[in-house]
Each structure stands twice: as C-alpha cells, then as structure tokens.
Chains A and B, each alone.
Chain A
Amino acid sequence: MQTDKTILQSYINNFQFLERGLKKQSNDPIHDLRKTAFNHLLEKGFPTKREEEWRFTDISPIIQESFILAEENNIKEFKQSDIIQLMFKDWAGPLLVFINGNYAEHLSDINTAQAGLTIDTMLSLLKKDQKSLLDTFTEFKTYNENVFSALNTAFIKDGSIIKLEKNVIADKPIHLLYISTKQEKPQLINPRNLIYLSDNSQAVIIESHVNLTDGQYFNNPVTEIRIAENARCNHIRIQDESSEAFHIGSIFVDQKQNSHYFSTSLMFGGKIARNNIYTNLDGEGIETILNGLYMGHDDQLIDNHTFINHAKPHCESHELYQGILTDNAKGVFSGKIMVRPDAQKTDAKQSNNCLLLSNEARINSKPQLEIYADDVRCTHGATVGQLNQDAIFYLRSRGITWQRAKNILTYAFAEQVVEGIGIDSVRDYVNDIILSRLKEDMNFIK
C-alpha cells in the first residue's frame, strides 16, 4: 500500500538520525538487518482500512503524527521510588526496567544465580557479542510481513533477551517492565524481546507496557518466543499505556513438539492499541492457550488480532477473549485459526465475549476458521451483549445497589481471564487496574 511520501519522510529522517548516531557501528551486520527492514517499510507503506486486517482499525492518527526517537539522557534521574507503583509487590524475580525504550540498569536486577538461565539486554549483547546475537536472530525470523514489526526491526536498539538451556526451569518469574514518560515531542519506541526456551525448559515471563506520566507516544514492541520440545512458557502481557498513547504490539511464537504456550494478554490503555499474536504450532502434541481481557472507555480503540497456525497433527488450541467496553470505546477482535492439511486431529476452540456497557460502545468481532484437514474439531463462538438484567435484579433484591450489582457482574466477567494468572502479586496488580476502572477498591473482591 502506497503511503504518502511526507508521512514516510519523518521515518526517513529518524533512520538517518539513527545512522549518524551509529557512526562506525553502521558497518555492523545488525545494521544490514535494520536496512532491509526499513526498505521493506518504505516499499510497503503503512496499512489502510482497505486492507482486510486493518478494516476496523483506522491508524491514520498514528501515521500522521511525526515521532522522534527516544533519547537516553535522563534515565539516571529515575529512582525506584518513582516507579514502585508500576512494579509488582515484593518482587523477588529478575526485573528488567526500560524507560522510553532505554535500559535502566540501576533499576533492574538481572543477576540471577541460576545456572542455565541467561538474561541480557539487546544493547549489551550488540556491544559485547554481536555474533551470538545474530546467531540467535537467524534462528528467529525477522518477520517483515507485518510492517509494524518491520518498523521495529528497522529501529532495533534495545530490549530483553532471555535464554533457558535444556531442562532448566526458571525458579522465579521474570518481569520485563517498559515504562514511557511524557517528553517534549512524541516519541517512537521499539522494544525488541527474544525469548528462547530450549528442550524441557520452563519460564514465566511478564511483559508490561505502562506509563509514568500521561502524554502522547508510540510504543511498537515486538516479542519473539521460541519454545522447543516439551518446553513450557507462561507469558503474561499487561498493556496499560497513557490514554493518549499509541500501542501496536506483535508477538511471534514458534512452538515445537509437545510444548506448551499460555498467553494472557491484558489490554487496558492507549488511545489506539492493538496486539497481534501469531503462533506457529510446528510439531505434534502442542498445546496453545490464548486468553485475553480488554477494557475500553472514553474514545479508546482496542484491537486484538490472533493467528493460530495448526501445521501438525494432534495439537490443541484454546482461546478465550473477554471484552468490556463503555463510553465511546471501540473494540476489534479478529481470531484466525488455520488448520493445514497435515494437521489432523486438531482440537481448536475459540470464544470471544464482549460486554457493551453503553449505547455508543462498539465491537467488531471476526472469527476466521480456515480448515484444510478433515478429521478435526474446531469450534468458535462470539457473544456481544449487556449485563444480565435478571442477575442484576437478583443482586438488588438482596440489598446490593444497582451500581455495585453492575460492578460485581462486570468484574465476574473479567475474572474469567484474570483467575488464570497464577502469580498473586501480578493478579493483584491487574485487579487494581480493573477495580480502578470500576471505581471500586480492593475490599470489593476480598
């Protein structure tokens, strides 16, 4: 799709700025990757509403804004007390803090004593061991089919790299904390995470994208996860950006035989926010669970796109997305399940339920099943509706106010996804966000 030259000009300026900053490093092999991706972006341009995958999501407010690349000058000014409300309570596991895309070493803790678990940052690996990083990259794909991941690759700078050796079970969950702050000019941030789980390994990774001060910025993170045979990954992703921010996230998951991927995607913030999850089930006996909760208010647009590629036989995928929209908020859910000819005995189940709490809220829900195998079980269901009036009356008849009855039922609807978060401090953090949206306190559920 052709994009107006003037729109792309700001990205060209940014790319030139980046290259000037690199100086000699612009001869590094990693930069070839950037250039390839950038050329791809220039060639393809940004998607428009004429493209099926973007039909309900108008991104013109994002592409018409000109962003600058985030600088790393003032990171040191932030103290732990400044960001404590964005951290999980009594967190004992590894923590990587990034402020406006730049790693804040003094706020992070990646020195795990555990053998077989390596945690590093992209920038640090680029400096000290670019070869091993590039080897890792060749194992990963560079995913240019989605222009926003190409944009991310073009501006690759920093992010989290996590690797588990064979048979290693990470003894504590790992928190990747991406914080944005208000700057004079709106910034473009492109975090890039690589997560590699070798055979029989297990890890819990929590990725959060949050803001410290309100303001406009564009966060465009990409997370690639490779899960080898018999490995298990529990990936919790919290998006609670500024109400003026743009967020387009892309997650690429590649799974091998008998592996397990459990994703919980929680979308709360952003003016326009989209999350794309692509999972490739490349082996037999794989289990994939994609759970999601999205809560939109004011004039937010929240879009969830998932794609599950069943390539081999005997795999299971379960997908549950729950949406709660009020005011003028708009939601989009697109869930594509592809069952390739080889993928016999596939068991795929998808459901997307959305509560519309105002007359103006809207949801576009699009399940897409493409099945090329004949011995499979695939089901999908979508519901859109209001709260059950009989249930509201039942609660009121017991002395519970109308507003609180509505909140109890709304919370119960969200809880179906939240209850799957197996870590108390993370679940408390998420509950806090939900309850503040409902204007209730913690006593409400305890």
Chain B
Amino acid sequence: MLEIKNLHAAIEGNEILKGINLKINAGEIHAIMGPNGSGKSTLANVLAGREEYEITGGSVRFKDNDLLELNPEDRAREGLFLAFQYPVEIPGVSNSYFLKTAYNEKRKYQGMEEIDAADFLMLMKEKMKLIEMDQALMNRPVNEGFSGGEKKRNEIFQMAVLEPKLAILDETDSGLDIDALKIVANGVNKLRSKDNAYIVVTHYQRLLAYIIPDFVHVLYKGKIVKSGGKELALDLEKKGYDWLK
C-alpha cells in the first residue's frame, strides 16, 4: 500500500528526515515511536502533503501513485488521511457541512454521485455511535471551542466517515484522558480491516495497549533506527530511548 524509500525532507533549510525506509501492507498497523524532535510529525505531515516541507530526496509510492506528485486533496481522495496532532479551528464552517463537502468531493473523484442530505445524516448518525461522538458537536463550527479530547475524537470521527485506505494518527493520544483514549482506540479497532492500514505516531506506549500494532519502528534523528514487533514498544516504555542512541 505504501512504500517509502530513502525519504529526505527539510524545513527552512534544516533537514529533518534523513533517509526513511518503510513498507506498509494492507491490513497492517505500524507504530512510529521516538523522542521529541526525532521527525515523527514531520513524516506524518510530509505524507499528507504539507507544503512547508521540502522533499530533498527519496520516493513514496501510495497504491499505484507517486504520492509526492499528488497535491494534498488528491492524496486524501486516493485514501490517505491524517489525524492532526493539533486540529485546526475553523470559525463559521459547521462540522456537518465540512464533512459532507469532503465526503462528496471524494465521491465525485471516484465517479460516484453526490450523497443527499438525508442519506448523509444517516451515515453521520451511524459513525457518531461508533466513536461515541456528541451530536451537538455536529452543528458547531469545526473544532471551535472544542476541548482537546473533543478535537481528537472529531479527527477519528472524520476518519470513520471518510473511510481512508491509509490513516496516519499523529499523536492522537496526547491530551486524551484514559476514557477518551479507550473510545478512540475502540473506534480504530472497529474500523480496521484487511483492506486498510494505519500508521500510529506516538511518544508513549499507552495508546499501543489498546491499538495493538503489528510493527513498531523507532525514529531517531530523522532515521528509523530500530524496528520490531509490539514487544518493542514495551521495551521502550521500560528502558526509554537512550539505549538506542
């Protein structure tokens, strides 16, 4: 599904990613861990197409596409989804309008008819139940005045509606209390299938107790320095990152 080869990326002339190699198949969950400043969020943002980052080398294939050639909206329409570490507040645009527009853009891209308001409402209700999302949040402006936990849950809710092939969860656990963490993890577990894949970017092991990864990679100074199974996350929890440096 995704194949990253020797990826280098820089921002304002500082190279952050220094040769990432990673292959992800459908049905897999990959955790990317690492200390602060190791390049985890940069990797997530580069994959989503954030334009502040300059790609200085390497390649990324996503399904049958050269991902780096696609603009951010086409990446999303091809099935890539980034759950933001810091979801953006958008005053004046309601959550439900925003999601319906996004949903229909994707349908149009796939050559399907736009969904009507009634059918979309049904879909929203079904997904809201899945994420235990408060319906009142739907008519509020996107993320405006949401608590940290509500914002993160809203990201997972959008993911549930848009049904991506590859979802990247960027520090989704930060700012969540344990109950919210369980709900988010539970949502992801219900959505996972043999056809989709996840990259879970996290600093701590605690999310991985609920979303069990198939692979764990440690990112350090812009490179993956160690890969392993889910037990690697537990080792990191015990020993910290110092033993890898």
Contact = CB atoms under 8 A, between A and B. Distances in A.
Interface string A344-386: 0000000000000000000000000000000000000000000
Contact of A398 (B50, B97, B158): B158
Interface residues of B, number: 32
Interface in A173-206: none
Given A393-B72, A394-B84, A394-B88, A400 B93 contact: no
Interface stretch (B61-69, B102-110, B128-136): B102-110
Contact of B72 (A396, A409, A411, A412): A396
Interface string B83-102: 01001111111000111011
Interface string A386-407: 0010110111111111101000
B88 A391 contact: yes
B157 to A, nearest CB: 12
* Interface secondary structure of A, over-half rule: helix
B93 A397 contact: no
A400 B102 contact: yes
B88 A399 contact: no
Given A393-B50, A393-B72, A394-B87, A399 B92 contact: no
Nearest to B105: A399
Nearest to B92: A412
Given A398-B158, A398-B162, A413 B92 contact: yes
Contacts of B213: none
A415 interface: yes
A397, A401, A404, A446: residue with the most chain B Cβ atoms closer than 10 Å: A397
Nearest to A416: B92
B73 interface: yes
B152 interface: no
A445 B97 contact: yes
Given A393-B50, A393-B72, A445-B97, A399 B87 contact: no
Contacts of A413: 92
A411 B88 CA distance: 17
A404 B109 CA distance: 14
Contact of A395 (B92, B98, B117, B162): B98
B73 A402 contact: yes
Contacts of A399: 73, 76-77, 102, 105-106, 109, 162
A86 interface: no
Most chain A beta-carbon contacts within 10 A, residue among B48, B76, B141: B76
B90 A412 contact: yes
Interface in A292-340: none
Contacts of A87: none
A408 interface: yes
Nearest to A446: B117
A445 B101 CA distance: 9
A425 B77 CA distance: 36
A445 B117 CA distance: 12
Contacts of A411: 92
A396 B98 CA distance: 11
A400 B158 CA distance: 13
A397 B97 contact: no
Most buried by B among A396, A402, A416: A396
Interface of A: 388, 390-391, 393-402, 404, 408-409, 411-413, 415-416, 445-446
Given A397-B72, A397-B73, 14 more contacts: A390-B88, A391-B90, A393-B72, A394-B88, A396-B72, A396-B73, A398-B158, A400-B102, A401-B105, A402-B71, A408-B101, A412-B141, A415-B92, A416-B92
Interface of B: 48-51, 71-73, 75-77, 81-82, 84, 87-93, 97-99, 101-102, 105-106, 109, 117, 141, 158, 162
